[in-house]
Amino acid sequence: MTRDTTPLLALLACCGLVLAGVAAGVPLDATPTAANDAPTASVALGDQQNNCNEPFSLTCVTAESYTLPDGGFIAVYDGDGELLFVTGGSDSGVETIDYIEPGSYNERVLAGGGSVAPPRDILVESQTLTAVAFRDTDGDRLPDVPQTTTDLFAGTDQPYTVSGTPVTDEQDVVVGDVPLVRIEPGEQIYADDVTVESGDRLELDPYVLDDVPVSGFEVEWTQTAGPPVELTASEDAERSPVFFTAPEVSTPVTLTFRLRVTDGQNNTGTDFVNVTVVQRTGPNSTVTFADGETQAGGTQVVLESVELDEGGFVTVRDAGLGTDTTGSVIGVSEYLDAGTHESVVVDLFDVPGASFERERLSIGSQTLTAVLHRDTDGDRTFDFVASGGAADAPYTYEGDSLTDDALVTYPGYYQVDLIGGLPYDRLGPHADNDFYADSGENRLLRWAHGEVVEPREFFESQGNAWPNATLRQCVGAGLIEYDETNDTASVRVTVTEGCAPQTLTLAVYDKPRVGFSREDNQTLVASTTRTLTPDTYTLTVDLPDENEA
């Protein structure tokens, strides 16, 4: 590829800047003055890897060391010998001062912006920078130095000299590669010549090394060769990337794009990137569905990633509901635009055109299948089930739907309640009655939480409630205990002498998650009810297994 790499390489690599050393004390066009001699004066830019956080700025230049026996200034000139800035330097590059107190300094950021402001924000081509050590000849602590290196003695403030030669250091600005292209999904490529497949979604990104943004600069991408593609701008002002989809091809073609970056003072750098597109060897769209637990109490699953070349939906299917393509759909995502999406949430048992007899997955592990669907009618609404499969058909590759399977686990949770009186079939938002501890009931004595797959893990989470006065006076209860052998819960209760017979129930409710929430529906799965005269008893109830809860 033939191109002018120099301007943009300087532009885009401030934060990958390397200064290659040239010996200090290089004579420049000047008139020697013996009175300025100072054998200990020195300045050295030195080889360095720049860590500046302001891209392309001249504040990226750092001096390795300098010594000014009588104080003064450091001036930096560009490759044409024109003054860039004069500064006293700072440790951080944030505070900018002009005058340098007498002494020796190491690792100082030469931050521009003092009394002599730089004529540009960035370097637009590789070049040799020259640092010159100046005295404060007139003692006003303000720099008055020449605008060019043609005559370094032309200003009021004279350069330090050694044997009549100005104290200087010259360093070549050498720039490394720039990451320009990202392929979605995938790693970004640190190159300006890449090969991709048809249908790949690409991002042209003017990031510099270490992902430093280009905010504050005008960035322009233009296609200059190859079959035309639509460049879509990003709203990311920190980076100003553009996106496009590699076109369908039967033989390799090369697309060329020009990147032009302009600073605030109209200095411009350009570079080119070539993207070679070859025929695709696999599907354009993919879905990744990893094994794991469900979310929201068995009512949601999360897909690791989805890539769609034309937008659409992802359904989740349960083979246990049969082989019918519409009847097996138990969940669907919201509409997804073309591109790559991560951590895609799919709500289960809420599918347009379908009805279900359950609210969540069965307890235990089961295999679910994620299937990619097109939005064939363009209405951004999932119509596959409602249309009997006529609309929003699956994405396919070589005749097969694009899918991924995952082993999904819903552990199942329950709550055990010791209550006065008879139990309700339902608790929570789907019930007409209150919870047992509410003021309208006041009949909950004890509660405990459990998990179906590992009951003991949560079973120690339990506590007392504050029931009505009769239950407080007439019933005493111990801890709710778990019997691993029989997979039961039991509690020892005592009805106080002198009290009337008490009807007590040990009830087990299925619920969607750990702990208690008034927003969760609970459904009765087992209970034991007894009317007890004064004495001590043990109430026992079977806990749900994976087929019951």
Give the whole-number percent of the chain exceeding pLDDT 90: 34
Min mean pLDDT across 61-70, 156-165, 177-186, 439-448 is at 177-186
Q: Is the pLDDT reported for residue 27 higher than 60? A: no
Angstrom distance (rounded) from CA 486 to CA 518 = 31
Main-chain dihedrals φ then ψ at residue 472, nearest 5 degrees: -65, -35
Write out the DSSP string of 304-326.
EEEEESS-BEEEEEEGGG-S-TT
**SS3 state of residue 365:** strand
Rounded to an integer, what is the distance from CA 391 to the centroid of its chain? 34
Tokens 């307890």, residue? Answer: 363
Q: How many CB atoms lie within 10 A of CB 371?
A: 22
User: What six digits make up the tokens of 539?
Assistant: 């109430």
Q: Is the pLDDT reported for residue 22 higher than 60? A: no
Taking a C-beta distance cutoff of 8 angstroms, is the pair 193, 274 a contact?
A: yes
pTM: 0.45
Taking a C-beta distance cutoff of 8 angstroms, is the pair 487, 414 a contact?
A: no
What's the rounded mean pLDDT across residues 274-295?
83
Of 247, 287, 322, 496, the residue nearest 402 (C-alpha) = 287
User: Per-residue pLDDT tens for 511-541?
Assistant: 887 788 888 888 899 999 999 999 999 999 9
What's the rounded mean pLDDT across residues 169-184?
56
Task: Give the pLDDT score at 370.
Answer: 93
Task: Give the pLDDT score at 422.
Answer: 96
CB neighbours of 147 closer than 8 A, spacing ≥ 6?
A: 82, 83
Q: How many Å is the Cα radius of gyration of the chain?
A: 38
Across the chain, mean pLDDT equals: 78
User: Per-residue pLDDT tens for 184-221?
Assistant: 444 445 456 788 888 777 877 765 433 344 445 677 88
Question: pLDDT band at 54, cuts 50/70/90?
Answer: very low
Task: Give the pLDDT score at 535.
Answer: 96
Question: pLDDT band at 240, cuts 50/70/90?
Answer: low
User: Per-residue pLDDT tens for 33-44?
Assistant: 556 688 899 998
Of 347, 343, 336, 271, the residue nearest 309 (C-alpha) = 336
Task: Give the pLDDT score at 343.
Answer: 92
User: Per-residue pLDDT tens for 120-150?
Assistant: 555 545 678 899 999 999 988 888 889 899 9
User: Per-residue pLDDT tens for 372-396?
Assistant: 999 988 899 999 999 998 899 998 8
Q: Where are the beta strands (DSSP E) in 455-548?
A: 462-464, 475-477, 481-483, 488-495, 502-511, 522-532, 535-542
Main-chain dihedrals φ then ψ at residue 268, nearest 5 degrees: -125, 140
